Chains A and B, each alone.
Chain A
């Protein structure tokens, strides 16, 4: 075992022999090493989060034809540190009538629900927190803690805008969870396991985005809704309810929500990469070593994050009834049809050659996409004829 091909286990073994050599009990040494692993992973993600603040501000500036932060350090890269200092020295206000314990617990839970997700992300073949055999469900479970933190924040702030924001957000979360779970089942079907490591291993030859492009797209839309980002950012619609559920939070407590949101977006970029874009696989490049694999996964997660930002800063906010109708009348049926069709085609084509299998899966998706577009076209044509018919009737009445 050498450092280059298995760095985490190399360090763990070295640390273990060191601690046991000092006369520590075996189980205590194992426990300490596990805790050190958790702390290192969380610290790395938090430091990376600081960098994400700069990325987000720089990218949004580009989409809006601005320069973005460019004064502190080269390319403004030290801007987040200035932001952090500002947030820390700001006055920390707890509103009158706030429920203090719940109010202070909510931002912590919010960031925690995101950090929890990194426990199951396979960063490299030998670098992962835990290979959980119910990974896909674990994502939903961690998300439900995030939902809880939003309700807690809104209720304990004792503010009506906050409560309205939370109601909207929770309505979105619990409805978009359904297409999300349905599309997460598709990599599960293709890989034959809910574990993230197994799903990534199953994409060695072909990424699932080729086998199930519609599922990848549906997952991305549902993920953006889960994140509460534009076009689904009704929870913080500033023209209606000021800032939504975190309206009363100041200083670093707001900072925790903000950091959690950015890291959440990056994390879902990462899950998009793990579930559909092949995880750490990149044409055999990952075999050079686990650290290369980590870089590949982070690059793919960054790509997912960039797509999410691209949509966020391009598309306008939707109305809540449109959004819920879009979910229940369009996205959920599509997700279920794709799920059933993928399961069926996977069973039918499993024993054929890989070329036939890939072509069959891809063709099924293209065909389904065409049918969906045709149905939508017929629907919108009927709608247009209805409204235009009404319009011409009123014009005739005026004459």
Chain B
């Protein structure tokens, strides 16, 4: 087992453990903070995969914006920071079965996959991964259409938010 594999396993355990804490803790702010640990763990996974751009964007967008928005929403809408109701709903057993089946299916499928023992090749020196990503995002024969559609979607969401918040006199 290499150092990288040990590191990956620790990260995976942290992600799983903190994700479990998100849904089991009764304090809503604590749940949001545990969620931040989970999201940070995912950023670490990206960093392990040499995807530095995704790792940094994960921290900027998910921790810097979305998690902080969560905390604000909880603080501004709840008087009591504790969740008192039952933590499971009626259909929990159905969801548990579906989750187990999905996990079992993925496990069964990936058993025959031989990619686990491979190690990722390092980038050749001087390889500009971020530049390649940027070119792919705006190149017509790559992802320019999804990129622009996503931009329009975000713009529509912004306009919608302004419309809702707009105070008609």
Q: A residues near B, CB below 8 A?
A: 27, 31, 99, 102, 132-134, 137-138, 140-141, 143-145, 147-148, 151-152, 155, 163, 170, 174, 177, 193-194
Instruction: Answer yes or no: B36 CB below 8 A from chain A CBs.
Output: yes
Contacts of B98 in A (CB 8 A): none
A143 to B68, CA, bound (A): 13
Q: How many A-B residue pairs have CB under 8 A?
A: 61
Contact across chains for A148 and B63 when beta carbons are under 8 A apart: yes
Stretch at the interface among B53-61, B82-90, B101-109, B137-145: B53-61
Instruction: Answer yes or no: B147 CB below 8 A from chain A CBs.
Output: no
Contacts of B68 in A (CB 8 A): 144, 147-148, 151, 170, 174
Contact across chains for B60 and A144 when beta carbons are under 8 A apart: yes
Please name 6 further chain A to chain B contacts, defined as beta carbons within 8 Å, in addition to the given A151-B68, A151-B71, A163-B75, sorted by A numbering: A132-B52, A134-B52, A137-B56, A138-B56, A140-B60, A141-B63
Contact bitstring B1-36, A, C-beta under 8 A = 1, else 0 = 001000000000000000000000000011001001
A31 to B65, CA, bound (A): 33
* CB of A128 to closest CB in B, whole Å: 15
Q: List 11 A-B contacts (CB under 8 A).
A: A31-B3, A133-B128, A133-B129, A137-B57, A141-B59, A143-B64, A144-B63, A144-B64, A145-B64, A151-B71, A170-B72
Contacts of A152 in B (CB 8 A): 33
**Closest residue of B by beta carbon distance from A152:** B33
Contact across chains for B3 and A27 when beta carbons are under 8 A apart: yes
A189 to B128, CA, bound (A): 15
Contacts of A31 in B (CB 8 A): 3
Interface residues of A: mostly helix, strand, loop or mixed? helix
Contact across chains for A102 and B56 when beta carbons are under 8 A apart: no
Contacts of A151 in B (CB 8 A): 68, 71
A99 to B32, CA, bound (A): 14
Contact across chains for B56 and A155 when beta carbons are under 8 A apart: no
**Closest residue of B by beta carbon distance from A135:** B56
Contacts of A137 in B (CB 8 A): 53, 56-57, 60
Contact across chains for A148 and B129 when beta carbons are under 8 A apart: no
Contact across chains for B29 and A140 when beta carbons are under 8 A apart: no
**Closest residue of B by beta carbon distance from A156:** B29
**Closest residue of A by beta carbon distance from B71:** A151
**Closest residue of B by beta carbon distance from A155:** B29
* CB of B83 to closest CB in A, whole Å: 16
Contacts of B99 in A (CB 8 A): none
Contacts of B64 in A (CB 8 A): 140-141, 143-145, 147-148, 177
A145 to B58, CA, bound (A): 12
* CB of B60 to closest CB in A, whole Å: 5
Interface residues of B: mostly helix, strand, loop or mixed? helix
Contacts of B67 in A (CB 8 A): 148
Instruction: Answer yes or no: B136 CB below 8 A from chain A CBs.
Output: no
A195 to B103, CA, bound (A): 40
Contacts of A147 in B (CB 8 A): 64, 68
**Closest residue of B by beta carbon distance from A154:** B75
**Closest residue of A by beta carbon distance from B36:** A148
Contact across chains for B130 and A174 when beta carbons are under 8 A apart: no
A356 to B20, CA, bound (A): 61
Contact A134 to B29, CB < 8 A, known contacts A144-B64, A145-B63, A147-B68: no
A191 to B68, CA, bound (A): 32
Contact across chains for B75 and A141 when beta carbons are under 8 A apart: no
Contacts of A177 in B (CB 8 A): 64
Contacts of B56 in A (CB 8 A): 134, 137-138, 141
Partner of A194, one of B30, B59, B130: B130
**Closest residue of A by beta carbon distance from B72:** A170
Contacts of A194 in B (CB 8 A): 130
A132 to B36, CA, bound (A): 23
A166 to B72, CA, bound (A): 11
Contact across chains for A102 and B33 when beta carbons are under 8 A apart: yes
A177 to B65, CA, bound (A): 11
* CB of B125 to closest CB in A, whole Å: 12
Most central of B64, B67, B131 by chain A CB within 10 Å: B64
Contacts of B129 in A (CB 8 A): 133
**Closest residue of A by beta carbon distance from B76:** A167
Contact across chains for B63 and A134 when beta carbons are under 8 A apart: no
Partner of A133, one of B29, B30, B57, B130: B130
* CB of B166 to closest CB in A, whole Å: 15
Contacts of A140 in B (CB 8 A): 60, 64
A174 to B71, CA, bound (A): 14
**Closest residue of A by beta carbon distance from B81:** A155
A102 to B28, CA, bound (A): 13
Partner of A155, one of B36, B57, B71: B71
Contacts of A155 in B (CB 8 A): 29, 71, 75
A170 to B36, CA, bound (A): 17
A27 to B33, CA, bound (A): 34
**Closest residue of B by beta carbon distance from A150:** B68
